[in-house]
Amino acid sequence: MGLSLEELKTLSAHFSSCYLTYRKNNRVAHQRKMGAGQKGFLPTPLDKLVFILLYLKCYPTYDLQGFLFGLERTRACRWVKLLLPVLEMTLGHECVLPARQIRSMEEFCHAFPGVRDVFIDGTERPVQKPKNTRRRNKMYSGKKRQTTGKVVMMTDETRRVGFLSLSKNGRRHDKRLLDKADIVRHIPSTVTVWADTGFQGINKQHPNTLLPKKATRKTPLSPEQKKENKLISGIRITVEHAIAGIKRLGCMTQSLRNRRPFIDDTFILLSAGLWNFHLRRD
């Protein structure tokens, strides 16, 4: 599930209180007290936590998820819908969820306390092909040769994900997503930004930026420039490690099957939160 036994026990304690709070706040009014009645197939908070973590890790169908826990597929679907926001609330209380919006320098410093370097990159996840041709073309990624969703993420030197943009169609360029997030102008000038060639032009918005040199047909790279590019790529590998950490979960590597609105944003937010929680406990 991507967590050690100690991490699972620590998360379970907060998950229990968040589950009770969520059920109390979203409870339909009736005479029976909360917790009364027949006990289900997931009686303890640890059972519920293992259920939702296994779903995110393996991303099985509801038929298989229900079979593993002795539930009908419809009941497994209801449990997933119930426990996803509870897990998000738990990770929020642990202060490991990345920011989705940064609108000031103060918010940036809160998301990245005391950093001197940040690393930016885009990542994609496969989605099912829409039947509508026009919508399918909007989601088609020329890089991955399939329909995808894309986000831009920002990490610090410890591989912790501090910012995630909203998920958009895979056809959009990385730089366009970054401009849409409107975060670069809030980065202090003392912080060095590391990015790849997909973010050409960011150095005009933030002068303290290190980008690899891009070769053209008429101006190939010199040996010194190639050596500098290799050095930048070696340092910038931090963000690639963070992406690999997020994609330990099957919900981020398998094709998205869920039809609920914004479920892709929920999956990547929870994946990043679990990765940050793992780093903090490491």
Query: Of the residues 67, 93, 119, which one is the last residue of a structural domain?
Result: 93
> At 124, is the secondary structure helix, strand, or coil?
strand
What pLDDT score was predicted for residue 34? 60
The total of structural domains in the chain comes to 2
Region 6-35 average pLDDT: 78
pLDDT at 1 over 80: no
Region 56-67 average pLDDT: 93
Confidence of residue 163 (pLDDT cuts 50, 70, 90): very high
168-169 and 146-155 beta bridge pairing: antiparallel
CA gap 46, 90 in Å, rounded:
13
pLDDT at 282 over 90: no
Q: Which domain holds residue 10?
A: 5-26+39-93
Question: Are residue 122 and residue 245 in the same domain, yes or no?
Answer: yes
Question: Are residue 240 and residue 143 in the same domain, yes or no?
Answer: yes
Question: Are residue 183 and residue 55 in the same domain, yes or no?
Answer: no
Return the minimum-mean-pLDDT range out of 47-56, 109-118, 139-148.
139-148
Question: Are residue 75 and residue 115 in the same domain, yes or no?
Answer: no
Question: Are residue 197 and residue 150 in the same domain, yes or no?
Answer: yes
pLDDT, tens only, 244-253: 999 999 999 9
CA gap 160, 244 in Å, rounded:
12
Question: Are residue 13 and residue 124 in the same domain, yes or no?
Answer: no
Question: Are residue 119 and residue 224 in the same domain, yes or no?
Answer: yes
pLDDT at 140 over 70: yes
* 98 found inside a domain: no
Q: Are 40 and 23 in contact (CB under 8 A)?
A: no
Query: What's the number of CA atoms in the CB half-sphere (13 Å) around residue 106?
Result: 0
Amino acid at 250: G
Question: Are residue 214 and residue 235 in the same domain, yes or no?
Answer: yes
* 34 found inside a domain: no
DSSP letter for each residue of 25-50:
HTPPP-SSPTT-S---S--SHHHHHH
Whole-model pTM: value is 0.88
* 99 found inside a domain: no
